[in-house]
Amino acid sequence: MAAVHDVIIVGGGGAGLRAAIAIAEADPSLNIAVVSKVYPMRSHTVSAEGGAAAVAGDDDSFDEHAYDTVSGSDWLCDQDAVEAFVLEARREMLQLEHWGCPWSRRPDGRIAVRAFGGMKKKRTWFAADKTGFHLLHTLFQTALSYSELVRYDEWFVTKLLVDDGCVRGVVAIELATGRIETLLANSVIICTGGCGRVFPFTTNASIKTGDGMALAYRAGAALKDMEFVQYHPTGLPFTGILITEATRAEGGWLLNKDGYRYLQDYDLGTPTPEPVLRSMELGPRDRLSQAFVHELDKGRTIDTPAGPIVHLDLRHLGADVINTKLPFVRELCTNYQNIDPVHELIPVRPVVHYMMGGVHTDINGATGLPGLFAAGEAACVSINGANRLGSNSLPELLVFGARAGAAAAEFARSAGSSRRSSAAEAQGRDEQRRLERELAGRQERGPDRVADIRVEMQETMEAGAGIYRDAQSMQTAASKLAELRERFSCAVIDDHSRTFNTDLTTSLELAGMLDVAECIVASALRREESRGAHQRTDFPKRDDALYLAHSVVHLDGDVPRVTYQPVTITRWPPAERVYGR
């Protein structure tokens, strides 16, 4: 007998927990299930370091936050969503304060804020450099107070169930036992985070494999703006571990092999030389990552066994600043790079960090598939457009997690008690039989292993759809991905046990990653312009006449089909994107 809930949330990180709290607050009678493939406190939200943006001081305004976000997005965001976001972000941050989040303070007791890239005012709230850790702890502790919330920790969702065009539940496998269950509900919210693991070098944890995006895509929902992949300019070589933008907010410098602050050679839009030297390290992430590539082409980076790097210099900040405001950075550098940033330079390079694209939703998290909602990095509402500003992602998951939760609760209430669906239960049995066959071992076994195909996919994405792209590189990538999908259909799974079968889990993840990778490449190939994080050497200019629009990709048979829909512009018409004015 299938388990029945009112709302199922797939993903137990920041967006998922905020959605769960919003549902419980909206209607305590609703039964909520949170299904997460890791224990919630191991969700990737915990690794966010630098801070969360919201208007805090009298010298700032909602309009200024909105304009910075619109400009930073290269005018590809939906401005109605941005306006709602900046208004609600501060309320969400204060709510976290009331729930116990230990924000860093000024000497007078007020909330401390720091500068962040692309923001003209200091509006990034922080908890030292462990902001995500404290935010997620706060949400998790708050969620524990709601008895109507049922958790399925370490369960992996493999399928969305759709009956008569409406999502009616999920199928999930318990990782500890291999038990496969059908979970029915009136509404489902996807909160599974991003898909950085489709690339080889990323700040993302190994769990960020785009599961929710792939689930929605296969079920018939659209993905939006998938071509926009953000590289963070400062990741540790080899591991990809993030060195937060807060290091540059506190005054860190980026130096090339000659010890030169090379960003002053690149156009970040600042009007005079002196402000350039003060603020250039806080340019938008896309432009800083692109500048690294130009330094590489000029032979001004440093070769290492982990690839080319530049240096991040914090030494002039001093031990007191680093220990007070950047203690986690010092810990990461000591443990993973065997250096002390108080006395030594930090080697860094651009790393894949965030997906601007995701499941296509409206301003309340609803997708085009009734009963299905999405929030957080898995979703595209869109406030980020072609480039996300640092510190907007944490308040985004709060604002739109809460909105999606409230909307999903209302949808579940309107559906009444009709949570059972014979068609959905039949689909669940079919999915259970498919997974049982996977556990038993495929009959058609090819020579390839899942891990080898995954590595080839990641290398293909970096070569074909990295910081700079062109038609030839992306067409080569598309052909290679089609070949990898064919080989994957016969890939070897050696482990047929049921207890924590990571061989099966990685195979299921790779199936979704191949879907997501194909959507990224198809969307990037179709957009013949350069905008934000999407930089084409064969189309170097932004083209508002043809491409001031969101790419929307549906599964058409077995291949992605890309169309476009207009960007919502409310108050700020497209203009030249500059930083520092």
**Residues noted as catalytic:** 232, 248
Write the burial class of residue 94 (CB in 10 Å: 0-12 exposed, 13-18 middle, 19+ buried): middle
Residue 2 is encoded by which pair of tokens? 């299938």
Q: Which is it for strands 346-355 and 372-374: parallel, antiparallel or unpaired? A: unpaired
Helices (H) and strands (E) in the chain, counts: 16, 23
Q: Which two tokens stand for residue 244?
A: 């937060």
Q: How many CB atoms lie within 10 A of CB 442?
A: 14
Could you tell me how far CA 247 lies from the centroid of its own chain? 21
Q: What is the DSSP string of 266-300?
A: S----SSHHHHHHHGGGS-HHHHHHHHHHHHHTT-
In the numeric block, which tokens belong to residue 214?
A: 């792939």
Q: How far apart are the first and last CA of the chain?
A: 61
Name the nearest CA neighbour of 477 among 491, 458, 490: 458
Task: Give the H/E segment covering residue 354.
Answer: strand 346-355
| Separation between Cα atoms, residue 454 and residue 361, nearest integer Å | 29
Complete edge-to-edge strand list for the sheet that includes strand 549-556:
379-380, 358-360, 223-224, 549-556, 559-566
Q: Please give the structure tokens belonging to residue 76.
A: 């590809």
Per-residue b or e along 471-501, where b marks 16 or more CB atoms closer than 10 Å to that residue's CB: eebbeebbebbeebbeebeebbbebeebeeb
